[in-house]
Amino acid sequence: MASSRVERVKESETIRIANLANQLRKKNIDVISFSLGEPDFDTPRHICDSAANAMYNGETHYAPSAGIPQLKSAIAEKLQNENKLNADESNILVTPGAKQAIFEIMMSVLDQDDEAILFDPAWVSYEPCIKMAGAHPVWAPTNPDNDFKPYDISEYVTDKTKMIVVNSPCNPTGSVYEKDVLENIADIAIDHDLFVLSDEIYEKIIYDREHISIGSMDGMQDRTITVNGFSKSYAMTGWRLGYACAHPDIFNNLLKIQSHSVSSATTFVQHGGYAALNGPQEPVYEMVNEFRARRDVLVDGLNSLGIKCNRPQGAFYAFADVSEFGTGDEVAEELLKEAHVAVTPGSAFGPSGKNFIRISYATSQDRIQEGLERIKSVLE
């Protein structure tokens, strides 16, 4: 009954784990969820007020498919000032979530049997989007002992390679790519005439590092498609609001897909996005400081249990090596059944994740401490 495109794609492992956790909750079992990548903070009030006021003022009709002009202008200004990108309102596409932007990019840039390079491990939805476009994901290795930075990338470039996907800060590892890593990727993209999809959704959730947009580097302005959004930095996951910045030729193709599928992002939600960019940024700083504290509690606790875990430089995930206790799939299943702790097996993120689990620390420090105690009781 399914098309060949759909048959190539597996169920999202993060959603599957979340559903299993919800089934246990329906039985009145207290489940500590470390599985979903969703900040547990409320959306800042000024953002909510802006969207509500827009709705009550009649902003409930169709929006321009590419986005409302004031939001596109604010995004372009943000990308120019913060990311040093050659951004203009005319090449900004506002989407219902960054994931939709990524899907549209894969569908518009990749052709049948093209190849796209992913750094292993990588976010769960890149691979399915590549496959639905008829292309093939190619996994290039990263080094866990060097904070999961990619290496030997050029060895995985073939005459079918069309794109390299960059995600910094990275889901699931929390790795942040320094300038020399990005320069290496940029050199390869230029030498082989490749596109780069730069997913920068976690750019503001970063610790003791500087975020660098690869699209700001020499020779990368026209070949980089930058994706970002509001879900993570502004705790707006349910609002579904993202955006892409691309060369005009690519932008036109993205717009073609959007206008024939989802039409546009929700009109009054876009007014909330405008308020997020132009309003006070203190809620972002406060959230990042709390994530930093949670990271330290979690990573120190995991290492004290004999679970090897790097200290993430960004995002809000720890990618922990559980090989001393079994595969990632085995440990994740045992933790959910025996400790009622939900984590995501690392295999969901690529071949190298077999012996890892991803733990999202988007929950309170008290729940993290309790989760560590539960994990300890099972592993001992």
DSSP 206: B
- Output b/e per residue, 306-328; b: 16+ Cβ within 10 A: ebebbebbbbbbbbbbbeebebb
Question: With a cut of 70, which residues of the chain have pLDDT below it?
Answer: none
Beta bridge partners of 308: 321
138-163 pLDDT, tens digit per residue, is: 999 999 999 999 999 999 999 999 99
Rg of the chain over Cα atoms, rounded to whole angstroms, equals 20
Q: What is the pLDDT of residue 64?
A: 98
Q: What is the pLDDT of residue 342?
A: 94
Q: What is the pLDDT of residue 2?
A: 76
The residues near 123 (Cβ < 8 Å, ≥ 6 apart) are: 167, 170, 171, 172, 199, 349
- Measured distance CA(53)–CA(352) in Å, rounded: 48
Q: What is the pLDDT of residue 5?
A: 80
Q: Which domains does the chain have, with CATH numbers?
A: 4-43+282-379 (3.90.1150.10), 62-278 (3.40.640.10)
Q: What is the pLDDT of residue 10?
A: 78
Q: What is the pLDDT of residue 15?
A: 74
- Output b/e per residue, 135-164; b: 16+ Cβ within 10 A: bbbbbbbbebeebbbbeebeebbeeebbbb
CA atoms within 13 A on the CB side of 109: 30
Q: What is the pLDDT of residue 218?
A: 96
Q: Is the pTM of this model over 0.85?
A: yes
- Measured distance CA(380)–CA(378) in Å, rounded: 6
The residues near 24 (Cβ < 8 Å, ≥ 6 apart) are: 31, 336, 340
